[in-house]
Copies of this chain bind each other. A is one copy, B any other.
Amino acid sequence: MRSRPVPMPLSSIKVACSNCNLRELCLPVGLSPSDLGRLDELVATRRKVKRGTALFSNGERFTALYAIRTGFFKTCIATEDGRDQVTGFQMAGEIIGLDGIVNDRHNCDAVALEDAEVCVMPFDRIEELSRQVPALQNHVHKIMSREIVREHGVMLLLGSMRAEERLATFLLNLVQRLHARGFSQSELVLRMTREEIGSYLGLKLETVSRTFSKFAEEGIVEVRQRHVRILDTEALRRIINSPTCS
């Protein structure tokens, strides 16, 4: 399916989208070879982010979008009064930084939950190039629209689901995205703490822990710390689709 990558001399590790094995995840499909070549202009550089440190922080000047090559991020917003909300977890092939466009400043923190590497795509370059490559333009629009739709889903979750439904939704979503990246459909390693999961799901960490335990008791999952094995995917789906089955 994918054409063989041209062998490159190790000395000149060129940053090249046309060559990246995550291409299908973050770039538009069906580009002509010449367009694809131009996309390589997009990525200015790569940047490594150590676990626990921020790729960008709230208030920082917005200059670029980032495509995650490796690693795992959370994005979160914090208010003056100490409230804190995880707005998403992002993995390889996903794009972060979209929040910064509107005010030329980032509106949230992006923190690496494990050592990570990202492709830095200066936004002015993205805009310039997408004026010339309609497929890229449309792709950028779709990425932003996808984020909007994803957040609609989170709003539904936060606004109308009970704890078990939230956690089931969360697990199925995670495992589905991991599966799309070649990982197991049933086994996963959580990269975030219970507290971070709770923040994302609008629950306290104790509730997350208890709900995990309940799922385990019922034989739906196996949980050993951050290692989770899903034993009964259908049960998780049923939990989501039977609201308040009283």
> Which A residues form the contact surface with B (CB < 8 A)?
77, 79-85, 87, 98-103, 107-108, 127, 130-132, 134, 137-138, 140-142, 144-149, 151-156, 158-161, 199-202, 241-243
Known: A83-B156, A87-B152, A102-B149. 19 other contacts (CB 8 A): A79-B156, A83-B160, A85-B159, A87-B156, A99-B145, A99-B149, A100-B145, A101-B141, A108-B152, A127-B138, A127-B141, A130-B131, A144-B144, A148-B148, A148-B151, A151-B152, A154-B155, A159-B201, A160-B202
A210 CB, min distance to chain B CBs, angstroms:
18
Contact A148 B99 (CB under 8 A): yes
Contact A101 B152 (CB under 8 A): no
Q: What residues on B are CB-neighbors of A101 within 8 Å?
A: 141-142, 144-145
Residue of B nearest to A128 (CB): B134
Q: Which secondary structure characterizes the binding site on chain A? A: helix
If A101-B142, A102-B142 touch, whether A82 touches B152 (CB-CB below 8 Å) is: no
Q: What residues on B are CB-neighbors of A77 within 8 Å?
A: 152-153, 156
If A81-B243, A127-B134, A159-B85 touch, whether A148 touches B202 (CB-CB below 8 Å) is: no
A72 CB, min distance to chain B CBs, angstroms:
19
A147, B144: Cα distance in complex, Å: 9
